[in-house]
Amino acid sequence: MIGKTLKGFLLVWLLSGCQPAEDKLVITGSSTISPLMADLAEQFETQSGIQVDVQSGGSGRGISDARQGLADFGMVSRALKTDEQDLTAHLIGRDGIAMIVNAANPVTALSNAEIVAIYTGEQQNWSSLGGDDAAITVVHKADGRSTQELFLAHFGLNNDQVQPDMVIGENQQGIKAVANDVNAIGYVSIGTAIYEADAGAPLRLLPLSGVPATLESVDQGRYPLSRELNLVSQGELSETASQLLDFMTDPDRAATYHDYYFLPVSR
């Protein structure tokens, strides 16, 4: 074990300056993708013997690490932006964002305009939306999260238009906030929301534009608020890197994707 690590270090030292070491892959980025990636990486390691190092830190880190050559792949839970076209995106799966309310809330559907009105503070009470006479608790995500960027882009909002009552970081915190407050509305990763609702959390996933928030509708491409899960790379892929990519997109991996409530790309 120590010998192997030592050999690894020696190899890295020898090859530094030319190209990354062949027997180790470094993958960094999106905290949405990293649990899935870590699981798949472990399976890949046992099969191929190639060491894979997975570190979370946000899609932004995935982009910058891939650019600087610090990582073989960056995990990015959205499509590449126009100023990121120097990188190559490899689609490995899909995820969606679900609007969630408390299960005790009588509201079962909201139009896009109503969601915008709630988040901009024009609509502050549930009564005119078919709910109880109670103030709406607006749960919003912190800056820089890809979930927040996607949400804002989908509803055509600027972040300074949003009037939140609570700003959260992780998906789990959003689940807790809505589960504990009958009058709250929030948005989290659809996989997390379905998993928590199945596990008994008092949540209701609202349909968007009439399309139910289910994994099937995301898979069929009908669900409007969904996102790509990408591995991004710069330049030519090394042999081990493309080996990992083939391994991940193999239909045999579908079960692992479902474990994390993501959808693999259908080939």
| Site of interaction with other proteins (CB under 8 A) | 31, 56-61, 63-64, 134-135, 137, 142-145, 158-160, 164-169, 173, 176-177, 180-181, 183-184
Q: Are 77 and 96 in contact (CB under 8 A)?
A: no
Residue 263: strand, helix, or coil: strand
Q: Shortest distance, CB of residue 67 to other proteins, whole angstroms?
A: 11
Looking from the CA of 226 toward its CB, the CA atoms found within 13 Å total 26
Two tokens at 191?
Answer: 């996989």
For residue 199, report the phi and psi dihedrals to the nearest 5 degrees: -80, 0
Q: Are 163 and 119 in contact (CB under 8 A)?
A: yes
Residue 29: strand, helix, or coil: strand
Q: Shortest distance, CB of residue 170 to other proteins, whole angstroms?
A: 10
Q: Shortest distance, CB of residue 139 to other proteins, whole angstroms?
A: 8
Q: Shortest distance, CB of residue 241 to other proteins, whole angstroms?
A: 24
Tell me the C-alpha distance between 78 and 159, whole Å.
18
Residue 102: strand, helix, or coil: strand
Nearer to other proteins, 76 or 213 (CB): 76
Nearer to other proteins, 6 or 142 (CB): 142
Q: Shortest distance, CB of residue 60 to other proteins, whole angstroms?
A: 4
| DSSP letter, residue 231 | E
Closest by Cα among 142, 27, 42 to 76: 27
Nearer to other proteins, 101 or 248 (CB): 101
Nearer to other proteins, 46 or 158 (CB): 158
Closest by Cα among 146, 158, 171, 159 to 80: 146
Nearer to other proteins, 172 or 242 (CB): 172
Nearer to other proteins, 116 or 167 (CB): 167
Q: Could you tell me the maximum CA-CA distance found in the chain, to the nearest angstrom?
A: 69
How far apart, in Å, are the Cα atoms of 67 and each of 21, 56, 61, 180, 221?
17, 16, 10, 41, 30
Nearer to other proteins, 159 or 209 (CB): 159
Q: Shortest distance, CB of residue 167 to other proteins, whole angstroms?
A: 4
Q: Shortest distance, CB of residue 136 to other proteins, whole angstroms?
A: 9
